[in-house]
Chains A and B, each alone.
Chain A
Amino acid sequence: MSQVVFDKPKALTDAVLHYCPGCTHGIVHRLVAEAIDELGIEGRTIGIAPVGCSVMAYDYFACDMIEASHGRAPAVATGVKRSMPENIVFTYQGDGDLASIGLCETVSTAARGENITIIFINNAIYGMTGGQMAPTSLIGQVTQTSPYGRNPETQGYPINICELLATLEAPAYLERVTVNNVKNVRNAKKAIKKAFQNQVEGKGFSLIEVVSSCPTNWGMTPQKALEWIDEHMLPQYPLGVYRDKENGVGLAKKEA
């Protein structure tokens, strides 16, 4: 007797993903869709796609979708959530979108504690435009616009979004995960599901930073790129829970 042990989540459409071989967007899309399926919220979920590699996420998620302008997804999400408070609203954004051009929207939305979920893909590079330096590019990282390696004296230092947002009082949940091996994928799944669960329960702003790979623009094989995450990305972007309000983790102000 045969039994289905692995299937495509219902919250993904049948569209074929356009992502490069080895890109971790596919994994994260799946984890988001699994979380939506398991919570039974697809029919009331509204997703917001960014500008960047995941711009066409609106074709991949089966829930209602909006395409936002570059960096403005959190503002669009704010409008949607204020209009439809009973709906589940999430944004899916890359590092250029969320941490550079949209940094103001990111910080302000987090500071307001909007009851939304943000999935933040940090692969330290602009993928869609062909591999330019991102705000999260590592010191010394060679990209198309930092051909001699990112020089902190002229190009500054990487922005650590979870640590930055953890200085704010409002966010309910901030966690950094990665998806470079099975164990980490499982942890990422847990974190993403919790970020949606929080919203269902009205707990407030949740952001999951997923340290991701970009084999194409890093100039590596997919396997080497996953190793590079361990060797180079994680020392700059340590995994962990930066805020979990209900469990008293990483609170901005010490309770009296």
Chain B
Amino acid sequence: MSEKVLMKGNEAIAEAAILAGCRHYFGYPITPQTEVAAYMSKKMPKIGGTFLQAESEIAAINMVYGVASTGKRAMTSSSSPGIALKCEGISYMAGADLPGLIVNVQRGGPGLGGIQPSQSDYFLATRGPGHGDFHVLVLAPSSVQEMADLTVKAFDLADKYRMPAMLLADGTMGQMMEPVELPEPKEVTADKSWAVTGTKMERKHNIVNSLYLKPTELEEKNIERFERYKEIEEKECLWEEFMMEDAEICVVSYGITARVSRNAIIEARKQGIKVGMIRPITLWPFPKKALLLAADKVKSFLSVELNMGQMQEDIELAIQCKRPVGLCKRVGGMIPSPEEVLNSIKEANK
């Protein structure tokens, strides 16, 4: 066990990625994820790794595509408008079954939006960020410790299922400082016999590709990929339950808003309101089963998020509309206070 160090969320991502065996980082400057690149630019040259400030977000994700093709761990980080630019490359990675990590420290949108925290890329992340029929793994940290832990987890899952993973944080999580216990350094053990490393004249050539001109072949590839997705939905859902034993209202929230909600729930409990929380840690796969089980016990749900109700739709789908799902939201870079969430809980309790 390593000792605890005080780190910014963005720095925790960078250090954890290095400890997870990532030696190739490609990025382009954008607020509020700057510290990831700054950290990598200092550290990578000292450990024989690559830090490259790419000419664009598009180039950066394609450099990740290149490294991933060789079977090594690679990552890029950006914030919402930059992630939109990466979507083409993410789709190609999904189509070529390439693992890799994309960090999205979200800010408000659409367009240039603002630079304050947001969760408005929920749809973009969970619906398959790019053209075509696919998913990426989406992990949503709610503490600096999770920024580190889920970075490692994202790399591991991406390798295991040969697909891109997105760490979906927000400006607050990126800038926040907390003590963090860094993960142990690890060797990457995933089988990557598919990678392009040179044939050494010992095998037939490997091809990394997403083009299938025969419709039957492309259909088969898509169906195979979705079978993998089904397995992921069954095995890899992560969530945390808080005060749910006797809860009548179930708050659902992730990232920074889950922390605000926690305080609001503690206060509500003091006022005699039976409220708890299910905090999704993976947003795709979405913890549908946990929510559906909760639907049999609680009277209503309350989605607390930094967008106009994107996850609210997923909750309704997950619980098959068995209970009403309220929404407590702030957008544009605003974060609700614990009082605002408490008021929404009281409203739901009426």
Return the contact of A104 from the options B52, B59, B63 (Cβ within 8 A).
Answer: B59
Any A CB within 8 A of the CB of B349: no
- Give bound CA distance, A191 to B207, whole Å: 27
Q: Are A80 and B96 in contact (CB under 8 A)?
A: no
Q: Are B197 and A87 in contact (CB under 8 A)?
A: yes
Any A CB within 8 A of the CB of B119: no
8 Å CB contacts to A: which residues of B33-63? 50, 52, 54-56, 58-60, 62-63
Q: Are B199 and A84 in contact (CB under 8 A)?
A: no
Any A CB within 8 A of the CB of B200: yes
* A46 smallest CB distance to B (angstroms): 5
Cβ contacts A39-82/B at 8 Å (1 or 0 each):
00011111000000001101101111111110010011111111
Any A CB within 8 A of the CB of B310: no
- Give bound CA distance, A55 to B69, whole Å: 17
Cβ contacts B193-216/A at 8 Å (1 or 0 each):
000111111100111111100000
Residue of A nearest to B72 (CB): A83
8 Å CB contacts to A: which residues of B135-192? none
Q: Are B207 and A67 in contact (CB under 8 A)?
A: yes
Give the contact-size bracket for chain B: 35 or more
Any B CB within 8 A of the CB of A108: yes
- Give bound CA distance, A76 to B209, whole Å: 12
Q: Are A67 and B210 in contact (CB under 8 A)?
A: yes
- Give bound CA distance, A77 to B101, whole Å: 19
Q: Are B198 and A80 in contact (CB under 8 A)?
A: no
Cβ contacts A94-105/B at 8 Å (1 or 0 each):
000000000011
Q: Are B196 and A79 in contact (CB under 8 A)?
A: no
Return the contact of B63 from the options A42, A44, A79 (Cβ within 8 A).
Answer: A79
* A222 smallest CB distance to B (angstroms): 25
- Give bound CA distance, A174 to B92, whole Å: 30
Query: Which residues of chain B come closer than 8 Å to A77, judged between CB atoms?
Result: 66
B contacts, CB < 8 Å to A:
24, 26, 50, 52, 54-56, 58-60, 62-70, 72, 74, 88-89, 92, 96, 196-202, 205-211
| 8 A/B residue pairs, CB under 8 Å, sorted by A | A46-B69, A58-B207, A62-B199, A64-B206, A76-B63, A76-B65, A83-B70, A104-B59
Chain A to chain B: the 6 pairs with minimum beta-carbon distance, closest first:
A79-B66, A108-B55, A75-B62, A64-B196, A79-B63, A44-B198
